[in-house]
Chain A
């Protein structure tokens, strides 16, 4: 079963801290977002193997966008 990870806030993707195929755990750092001229770390809300990453560095994302899918 796949699980979706959504962003909690809008911003610009500074860097993606995991790769497809990585296994991550809940609360691992997965993204660096820039919002209000500040970098914010986004933590995983769930654990699993990263199946697909839907974003790339420099993308502008909105709140609740699905950024990666875990399996």
Chain B
């Protein structure tokens, strides 16, 4: 009877798992009942539930604790059924106390009291769900989701491939028709750097601060790419903050816009007709864009390179099969992998920390300040422009394509029925996706 109980997940189940299962259920509820980003929140939510069922093993990593110095084992400090935190003492020898650098549980103790151990000998095998910097704490993924995470995300495969699909889905015509709006997409990157410095102020490391700052780029794959490279242990929090705030764009943008603009400014009419963009321009853009951006910021190559090749598939007109695949089943398959895996990083012991809360708070500041920077920069541009732009389209420079542009359009029509800002807002919106990838590339290049 007792033996059977020890084999079940209940032994290791604690209040944190319950809390996370409720959070996962909450995300699924938002996806289904409120239709908030269901394609993302439903698999993320279910991933969270799965990984909070102990012994399920989906997100498990195997870690071998080794002796640093030779000595004689004096005591096994912990028993095999105990769940322990990072830094817990596992084995004591006469030369050292061996602590686990990861949280988790023991799968086996390889030594006995009285036994001699040499430096480098394995003393215990630990199972953890923690994402670690492999150069410092090498672990071996042994679960379905941890393998997907290790080889899909940590190896930088899935996020750039998603970018390929985003490229195939993105119409750059609104930006090419009015290239000055690219500046708005660039201005919003202020939010990224603002949040970076706030994070430093709150005691995060440079690598963590960059991963938190990039949330303001409102670009899921970029956030995952940057965090996987620089601070994999907080990837669950940054990814969820990014995706949740993208879903909350309709709540975050309007107050920022209203605060920074007058009614008269919000009513500025923009002629709906944009300059027609030729096919040649649309074909040249991804080629020339990739060459220039990658030469300037080489570490953005995986994201920008994939983005631009996807866009070329779309615009060249002779590989419709590739473009259609990239726009439909390909991106769907990648989305399933990436979202389930991101959900899987959120085991209670990884997620329920003070830093998660800080990340969520700084993330929303990053988002709002990015939108504010876009609006203010649009107002600044108006000082010099003969034909004024509606400053609200600056807020669409927070990426979150195309949600941010939609929000601006709806607000524009509320102020002035004849104002159709959608395509004007799409310009900074798509520019910001590139801006975020570049900002991410800069972080990875400098800190990675």
Contacts and interface: CB of A to CB of B under 8 A. Distances in A.
Interface in A4-41: 8-9, 27, 35-38, 40-41
A38 B409 contact: yes
B433 interface: no
Interface string B169-191: 00000000000000000000000
A38 B406 contact: yes
Interface string B225-263: 000000000000000000000000000000000000000
Contacts of B272: 8-9, 63
Contacts of A41: 413
B273 interface: yes
Nearest to B274: A63
Interface string B404-431: 0110011001000110101100100000
B54 interface: no
A6 to B, nearest CB: 9
A9 B420 contact: yes
B417 A9 contact: no
A38 B425 CA distance: 14
A63 B422 contact: no
Nearest to B426: A36
Contact of B418 (A36, A45, A63): A45
Interface-central residue, B272, B413, B420, B423, by most chain A CB under 10 Å = B420
A64 B426 contact: no
Nearest to B276: A63
Given A38-B402, A63-B272, 12 more contacts: A8-B272, A8-B418, A9-B420, A27-B417, A36-B426, A37-B402, A38-B406, A38-B410, A40-B413, A40-B420, A40-B422, A63-B273
21 contacts: A8-B272, A8-B418, A9-B420, A9-B423, A27-B417, A35-B422, A36-B402, A36-B406, A38-B402, A38-B406, A38-B409, A38-B422, A40-B409, A40-B413, A40-B420, A40-B422, A41-B413, A43-B418, A45-B418, A63-B274, A64-B273
